[in-house]
Amino acid sequence: MHFTTLASGSSGNAILVGEGHRHLLVDCGVSGKSLLTNLAQLNIAESEIEGIIVTHEHIDHIRGVGILARKLKIPVYATAGLWKAMGRFLGKLAGNQCVEVSASFTCAGLDVLLYPTSHDSCESYGLKILRPGKGGKSHLMVGIATDSGRITDEMNRYLKGCDGFVVEANYDDEKLHNGPYPAYLKKRISGHFGHLENSQLARGLTEWIQENTQRVVLAHLSEENNTPEIALSTVLNILKESKVSQTCPEVKVHVAPRHTPHELIILRE
Question: d(Cα 122, Cα 85) in Å, to the nearest integer?
Answer: 7
The pLDDT score that the predictor gives to residue 250 is 92
The pLDDT score that the predictor gives to residue 39 is 98
The pLDDT score that the predictor gives to residue 13 is 98
The pLDDT score that the predictor gives to residue 135 is 65
Question: d(Cα 121, Cα 195) in Å, to the nearest integer?
Answer: 12
The pLDDT score that the predictor gives to residue 216 is 98
The pLDDT score that the predictor gives to residue 132 is 84
The pLDDT score that the predictor gives to residue 137 is 64
The pLDDT score that the predictor gives to residue 133 is 75
The pLDDT score that the predictor gives to residue 139 is 86
Helix (H, G, I), strand (E, B) or coil at 247: helix
**Residue 267 in contact with residue 214, Cβ under 8 Å?**
yes
Question: d(Cα 98, Cα 211) in Å, to the nearest integer?
Answer: 39
CA 251 to chain centre: 18
Kindly give the pairing relationship between strand 125-131 and strand 49-53.
Answer: unpaired
Query: Could you say which residues of the chain have pLDDT below 50?
Result: none
Helix (H, G, I), strand (E, B) or coil at 194: coil
The pLDDT score that the predictor gives to residue 19 is 96
> Rg for the chain (alpha carbons), in Å?
17
The pLDDT score that the predictor gives to residue 129 is 98
Q: Tell me how far CA of residue 17 lies from CA of 112, 131, 144, 175, in angstroms.
A: 11, 10, 10, 32
